[in-house]
Amino acid sequence: MSVKTAARTQSRLAPVAAGTPEQIRNVALVGHGGVGKTTLTEHLLAAAGAIPRAGTVADGNTASDADPVEISQQRSAFLSVCPLRYRDMVLNLLDTPGSPDFVGELRAGLRAADAALFVVSAADELDDSTLALWEECAALGTPRAVVINRLDAPRADLARALEACRQAFGGVDGNAVLPLYLPTDPAQPAAGGLVELLSATDPRYSDDRSALIEAIIAESEDETLLDRYLSGDDLDYAVLVADLHTAVGRGHFHPVVPVCGGGDSSFGMSELLELIVRGFPGPTERPLPECWTPIGAPGPKLTCDPAGPLAAEVVRTWVDPYLGRVSLARVFSGAIAGDTALHVSGHGSADRGHPDHDADEKLATLLGPTLAPISSAFAGDFCVVARLASAETGDTLSEQRQPLVILPWQLPEPLLPMAVRAATRNDEDALAKALTRLAAADPAVRIERNAGTNQLVLWCLGEAHAEVVLARLRSGGAAIETEPVRVPLLATFTAQARGHGRQVKQSGGHGQYAVCDVVVEPLPRGSGVHFVDRVVGGAVPSQFIGSVEKGVRAQLARGLQQQATVPVVDVQVTLVDGKAHSVDSSDAAFQTAGALAVKDAAVTGGVQLLEPVDSVQITVAEHHIGAVLSDLSGRRARVTGTEPLASDRPGNRSVIHAEVPAVELLRYPAVLRSLTGGAGSFTRGYLRHDPAPATVATALLG
Ligand SMILES: Nc1nc2c(ncn2[C@@H]2O[C@H](COP(=O)(O)OP(=O)(O)OP(=O)(O)O)[C@@H](O)[C@H]2O)c(=O)[nH]1
Ligand SMILES: [Mg+2]
């Protein structure tokens, strides 16, 4: 049994169950890759007693990175839900991967969470990809606190990290981001020990305390509070905590907690648990996603009510050898009981091979997020449903009598192609099954059977995602290989050319006799293939004109000479002459003669290779424009313009418009990421086929 199986069917985590939705907190851990989210999750679980002691990412024994891919890559690749009990509350910690390659999992986590711990490192600068993650949360209005982690790391500097966070995330005056806790000994922040500023009496903290209180009571329902505070009234602690809860819940204020979530001596865990319980909104306080009926009519307005209509969303799918396909779902409204018949509404579009909706499935096994059997799961919580044959990540689970569809979170666009094939014919069935499983589990991957190159192409978000996709495909035992990705090439004639085709075999039996002469000439791009009959005097009998055309078209579609397999387009083929035999001529003979005639024309006609060119829009920070443009010039790109991103603040980001040969874009997601520190993005769309330079043509034909 694999490590994953062991972990999945027998979670290290003890089962917990909440009594009411108000007793639940769903909190995503979000932040740059390697900042310590998984380790922090582990230490929070240990602090709450959910596990006896914290495992480590290096040892591959953490609760959230339990998949073999995560263990071998030593980073998170999937969303994980780790429940713990703290006081009388259930906290579902949603550990998300930090790599932009797994942004689909992050988005699933943000959909499923009601608030987030935004984790940054005290030892590193805030880079562009961290800013992009913050924007991601901000766009959704996710309430969040900032966790300044790794205080024990060699170059950790709490003051610098705090200032950087205030500048980047704190609004005009930085006051939307202020510490809720500070180290007891400011000279040695890593020594452990935190002071809670709301209750601090030590005068050394009075400035920080005042700033914090002013920021949170600005959100208070009681408008007299600020005046009372400024005129010297000491406010009740419970009132301050309630206002903190309001300010955080509205997404307007982000308290900072400095911690050490790993290393030799972790601290700050109980402070974080307290903040989550008292300062973070619960599922009943957050707006829920909109829902529709399967025919597209507006659905009921969902509330986090166990008695409401059932609406749950699948946020992760995987295959367990014992349980089969398992779907981890966040219940938004209503309740799932063990004997509910579920309606599964798919978001999948036709190209992913999943019908849009309507599969009624009997619920077989209902489990909690720790995979312990449960009898029901209600609004606000998570559950795992086993053996829903058609459920995919992003699908909605509802009741048969009231089917609903929740639109899934925005999916990232996968732009890194990976071509795969079954290693042997025997593996082809296994590959087909593995693709179905992949499509169900990972909506971020796009599966394409490219007719132009005859390749099976999996479009991924980046190299790490491609590795995970490959591991997933192979996990069922199929021998699957990768191969270089090809771009769909075309060819055309550069000049008018005459061709002669002769199919004459008259020795014995029924013979073959067909001769034809054609003139092939180039047409403008996008014209396709035109066939014209200019035969005079019945040199080719009229019943065989269609045969010649068929032979010509088939040969052009198959390709000519060196460009074998590359279809020829944008030409006019004119049948100008030919010869027939009263007995031996046939449809087949004239098809062959037509094919031979265009092949002959290609010898003198100068067949030229056409490569696909894409229209590309690249969004980058101003300071990366130079590097991106100079890289583009090495990719045979034609830059057509650069303009500031309209929705951004001035001087922030720009959009570069360019036309780039598709072959130069095969690894562009990785290139752009390294040029921009992970913060650049691009979109691409097919524009046209252009002639490929001779040097490139040889490489393209490979
Ligand atoms: N010194 C120190 N090391 C830490 C701390 N937290 C995590 N680490 C180490 O940093 C490395 C990365 O930690 P992870 O917990 O995997 O980071 P992550 O944020 O989950 O990374 P992704 O899953 O890739 O997004 C591991 O080797 C941890 O042991 C900390 O507070 N102090
Ligand atoms: Mg992680």
Q: Ligand 1 pocket test: which of 29, 56, 57 has the largest number of ligand atoms within 8 Å of its C-beta? A: 57
Alpha carbon distance 44, 51 (integer Å) = 9
Pocket test for ligand 1, best of 38, 41, 149, 265 (most atoms within 8 A of CB): 38
Is 67 touching ligand 1 by the criterion CB < 6 Å? no
Q: Look up the CATH number of the domain holding residue 563.
A: 3.30.230.10
Query: How close is the Cα of 39 to the center of ligand 1, in Å?
Result: 5
Q: Is the Cβ–Cβ distance between 309 and 334 less than 8 Å?
A: yes
Beta pairing partners, 406: 291
Query: What is the number of other CB atoms lying within 10 angstroms of the CB of residue 190?
Result: 18
CA of residue 126 to ligand 2 center, whole Å: 18
**Terminal alpha carbon distance of the chain:** 43
Q: Is residue 229 part of a domain?
A: no
> Atom 11 in ligand 1: which residue has the minimum CA distance?
34
Q: Which of 29, 39, 93 to mutate to test the pocket of ligand 1 (most atoms within 8 A of CB)?
A: 39
Q: Does 207 reside within a domain?
A: no
3 state DSSP class of 184? coil
Dist. CA 50 → ligand 1 center (Å): 20
588 falls within a domain: yes
Pick the residue whose CA is nearest to atom 1 on ligand 1.
263
385 CB-side CA count, 13 A: 34
**CB 57 less than 6 A from any atom of ligand 1:** yes
What separation in Å is there between the alpha carbon of 177 and the centre of ligand 1?
23
Residue 60 Cβ inside 6 Å of ligand 1? The answer reads no
CB-CB contact of 130 with 157 (8 Å): no
- List the one residue out of 96, 101, 99, 98 whose CA is nearest residue 82: 96
Q: How far is the CA of 83 from the centre of ligand 2 (A)?
A: 16
Contact predicate 546/529, CB 8 Å: no
**Pick from 480, 448, 435: which is nearest to 319 by CA?**
435
Same domain assignment for residues 127 and 269 = yes
CB of 32 within 6 A of ligand 1: the answer is no
Distance in angstroms (rounded) separating the CA atoms of residues 384 and 327: 5
3-state SS, residue 506: coil
H helices within 405-533, ranges in order?
428-441, 463-474
Residue 7 lies in a domain: yes
Distance CA(126)–CA(505), nearest Å, equals 78
User: Does ligand 1 have an atom closer than 6 angstroms to the CB of 142?
Assistant: no
629 touches ligand 1 (CB under 6 Å) = no
d(CA 439, CA 273): 37
Residue 230 domain flag: no
State the distance from the centre of ligand 1 to the C-alpha of 76, rounded, in angstroms: 10
Of 605, 625, 646, which one is at a domain's C-terminal end?
Answer: 605
How many structural domains does the chain have? 5
Give the distance (Å) from ligand 2 centre to CA of residue 577.
Answer: 72
| Cβ–ligand 1 contact at 445 (below 6 Å) | no
Nearest alpha carbon, ligand 1 atom 22? 33
Residues 333 and 380 in one domain: yes
CATH of the domain at 661: 3.30.70.240
Residue 669 belongs to what domain range? 609-701
State which of 278, 313, 335 marks the end of a domain: 278
| Nearest ligand 1 atom to alpha carbon 32 | 25
Based on the domain organization, do 68 and 133 belong to the same domain?
Answer: yes
Tell whether ligand 1 has an atom less than 6 A from the beta carbon of residue 402: no
Distance in Å, CA 263 to ligand 2 centroid: 15
C-alpha to C-alpha distance for 606 and 90, rounded to whole angstroms = 73
Same domain, 601 and 589: yes
Q: State the ligand closest to the CA atom of 260.
A: 1
Domain check: are 466 and 391 in the same one? no
Low-confidence residues of the chain: pLDDT under 70: 1-11, 347-364, 508, 561-564, 648-651
Calpha distance 668→665 (Å, rounded): 5
- Residue 245 belongs to a domain: no
Q: Which atom of ligand 1 is nearest to the CA of 70?
A: 23
Return the CATH number at 348. Answer: 2.40.30.10
CA–centroid distance, residue 668 to ligand 1 (Å): 28
Would you state the pLDDT for residue 302?
Answer: 95
Query: Do 400 and 422 have their domain in common?
Result: no
Nearest CA to ligand 1 atom 7: 36
pLDDT digits (tens, 9 = 90+) for 619-639: 998 999 999 999 999 999 999
Helices (H), 280-422: none
Q: Is 43 in the pocket of ligand 1 (CB under 6 A)?
A: no
What residue owns the CA closest to ligand 1's atom 26? 57
Buried b (16+ CB within 10 A) or exposed e, 282-296: bbbbbebbebbbbee
Residue 147 falls inside a structural domain: yes
Query: What is the Å distance from ligand 2's center to 27 Cα?
Result: 15
For residues 85 and 160, membership in a common domain is answered with yes
d(CA 15, CA 296): 38
The whole model's pTM is what? 0.88
Ligand 1 atom with minimal separation from the 153 CA: 1
CA distances from 226 to 177, 219, 237, 243, 295 (A): 18, 10, 15, 11, 51
Is residue 22 located within the same domain as residue 88? Answer: yes
Could you tell me the distance, in angstroms and rounded to a whole number, from the CA of residue 29 to the centre of ligand 1?
Answer: 12
Same domain, 571 and 619: no
- Quote the CA–CA distance of 158 and 24 in Å, as a whole number: 31
- Cβ–Cβ < 8 Å for 701, 562: yes
Ligand 1 atom with the shortest distance to the CA of 98: 25
* Ligand 1 centroid from CA 640, angstroms: 43
Backbone dihedral region for residue 510 (phi beyond 0: left; psi -120 to 50: alpha; all else: beta): beta
Q: What b-and-e string marks burial along 373-388, b requiring 16 or more CB atoms within 10 Å of the CB?
A: ebebbbbbbbbbbbbb
Distance in angstroms (rounded) separating the CA atoms of residues 217 and 239: 9
**pLDDT value of residue 456:** 96
Q: What is the 97 CA–ligand 1 centroid distance (Å)?
A: 11
Q: Is the minimum distance from the CB of 99 to ligand 1 under 6 angstroms?
A: yes
| Ligand 1 in reach of 34 Cβ (< 6 A) | yes
Edge-to-edge order in the sheet of strand 254-258: 80-86, 89-95, 24-31, 115-121, 144-149, 254-258, 177-179
Which one of 605, 626, 649 terminates a domain? Answer: 605
The per-residue pLDDT for 324 is 83
Taking residue 526's Cβ as centre, other Cβ atoms within 10 Å add up to: 9
429: left (phi over 0), alpha (psi -120 to 50) or beta: alpha
* Residues 55 and 185 both lie in one domain: yes
The reply to whether 503 falls in a domain is: yes
Residues 322 and 359 in one domain: yes
Ligand 1 atom 4 nearest Cα: 262
Residue 529 parent element (H or E):
strand 529-533
pLDDT for 360 equals 55
What is Dmax (Cα atoms) for the chain? 117
Distance from Cα 378 to the centre of ligand 1, integer Å: 33
Per-residue confidence (pLDDT) for residue 294, from 0 to 100: 79
Same domain, 12 and 155: yes
Q: Is 370 helix (H, G, I), strand (E, B) or coil?
A: coil
- CATH number assigned to the domain comprising residue 472: 3.30.70.870
**Secondary element (H or E) of residue 225:** helix 224-230
